[in-house]
């Protein structure tokens, strides 16, 4: 190659070097993200705390009892509202007339109250099963007596005794504290009694109420009572473990030769009282033995309130029968056909 050719080749090489396509350097790749720091595994105790524990059988039972109490209170309010509306001026006047009247005998006083229109219709419907006139006459009731009624319940006997004793006698009833713990069933029962008494001042205005503590029953009525009535209430005392304490208090409250009248759902003779009491029933011989051991003598007994139709083997005890009908419409016809429970009626005298 001559000198000219060499120079031309060199020029072309330089031209390509400076005028060729420019290649940009590649962008550096993004750095990978830093890994998240590992979280420590939760302690087993913390996991358990976050999970809702299953309620125990006792807690479930308590919840059910509170729900039932709530429903009963709502029903009580409805019933009271209806009763207040039912009490017309005419009924208030009738109650006032009966309470201001003097009666020649216990029979005359109770008979007048039984015929009164102020009576709660559901109570009047029970007369055929309860035999109140015959029962009170059997106990020796007189309108001049001081009478203690334990646990008035819904007021069946209270609405009969209050006007009969208003003029010349005295009716004393027991009650728990209506201002007690709202979750306590005893408070609900006390509220029910209080509403009963407030319904008619004409009828119940002279009734004396003794508030007691269920855990330590005290009456403070030493030697002042002629007749004490325990109407279908002994099983509750047995269940609460307070029967002996109550018999002692009642014995103290009665005058010498005072009368204790007992009406109680009657179990089969061989029943275990601790078990049968849970169903509302008690064996008669056992009841007599317990009361006589507390300082009383059985004077006589009656079959006024006997019911041979009662088989005493109902799943929910006496509460399957009228008026409770605990199973609602289930076997309703059967239980209505039986009627109220078979009951002993016993008259004791204080020694």
Residue percentage of the chain with pLDDT more than 70: 85
How confident is the model at residue 308, as a pLDDT?
A: 97
Average pLDDT over residues 61-85: 95
Task: Give the range among 13-22, 225-234, 341-350 with minimum mean pLDDT.
Answer: 13-22
Element (H, E) at 274: helix 273-276
Q: What is the DSSP letter of 267?
A: -
Tally the C-alpha atoms within 13 A of residue 263's C-alpha that lie toward its C-beta.
25
- 34 has a pLDDT exceeding 90: no
Four-residue CA torsion sign, 310, 311, 314, 318: positive
pLDDT tens profile 58-69? 899 999 999 999
CATH architecture of the domain formed by 64-350: 3-Layer(aba) Sandwich (3.40)
- 92 has a pLDDT exceeding 60: yes
- 31 has a pLDDT exceeding 80: no
Q: Kindly report the pTM of this predicted structure.
A: 0.84
What residue spans define the domains of the chain?
Answer: 64-350
- 2 has a pLDDT exceeding 70: no
Average pLDDT over residues 112-120: 97
**Average model confidence (pLDDT) for the chain?**
89
pLDDT tens profile 198-242? 999 999 999 999 999 988 999 999 999 999 999 999 999 999 999
- 19 has a pLDDT exceeding 60: no
Spell out the residues 6+ positions from residue 255 whose beta carbon is closer than 8 angstroms to its own. Answer: 223, 224, 225, 226, 350
Residue percentage of the chain with pLDDT more than 90: 83
Residue 158 near residue 207 (C-beta atoms within 8 A): yes
How confident is the model at residue 53, as a pLDDT?
A: 80
């Amino acid at each position: 190659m001559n000198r000219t050719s060499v120079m031309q080749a060199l020029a072309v090489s330089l031209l390509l070097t400076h005028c060729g396509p420019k290649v940009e350097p590649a962008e550096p790749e993004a750095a990978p993200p830093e890994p998240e720091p590992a979280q420590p595994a939760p302690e087993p105790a913390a996991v358990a705390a976050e999970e809702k524990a299953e309620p125990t059988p006792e807690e479930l039972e308590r919840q059910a009892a509170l729900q039932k109490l709530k429903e009963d209170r709502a029903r009580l309010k409805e019933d009271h509202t209806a009763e207040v509306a039912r009490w017309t001026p005419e009924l208030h006047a009738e109650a006032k007339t009966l309470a201001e009247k003097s009666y020649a005998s216990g029979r005359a006083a109770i008979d007048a109250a039984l015929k009164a229109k102020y009576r709660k219709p559901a109570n009047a419907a029970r007369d055929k099963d309860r035999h109140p006139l015959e029962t009170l006459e059997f106990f020796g009731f007189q309108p001049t007596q001081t009478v203690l009624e334990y646990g008035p319940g819904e007021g069946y006997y209270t609405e009969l005794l209050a006007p009969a004793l208003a003029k010349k006698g005295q009716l004393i009833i027991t009650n728990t504290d209506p201002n007690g713990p709202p979750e306590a069933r005893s408070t609900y029962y006390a509220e029910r009694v209080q509403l009963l008494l407030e319904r008619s001042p004409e009828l119940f205005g002279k009734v004396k109420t003794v508030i007691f503590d269920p855990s330590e029953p005290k009456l403070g009525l030493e030697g002042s009572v002629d007749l004490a009535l325990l109407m279908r209430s002994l099983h509750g005392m047995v269940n609460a473990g307070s029967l002996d304490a109550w018999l002692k208090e009642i014995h103290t409250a009665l005058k010498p030769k005072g009368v204790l009248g007992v009406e109680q759902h009657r179990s089969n003779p061989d029943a275990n009282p601790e078990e049968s009491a849970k169903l509302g029933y008690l064996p008669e011989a056992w009841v007599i033995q317990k009361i006589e051991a507390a300082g009383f003598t059985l004077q006589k007994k009656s079959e006024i309130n006997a019911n041979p139709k009662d088989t005493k083997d109902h799943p929910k005890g006496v509460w399957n029968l009228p008026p409770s009908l605990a199973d609602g419409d289930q076997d309703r016809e059967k239980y209505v056909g039986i009627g109220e429970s078979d009951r002993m009626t016993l008259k004791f005298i204080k020694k």
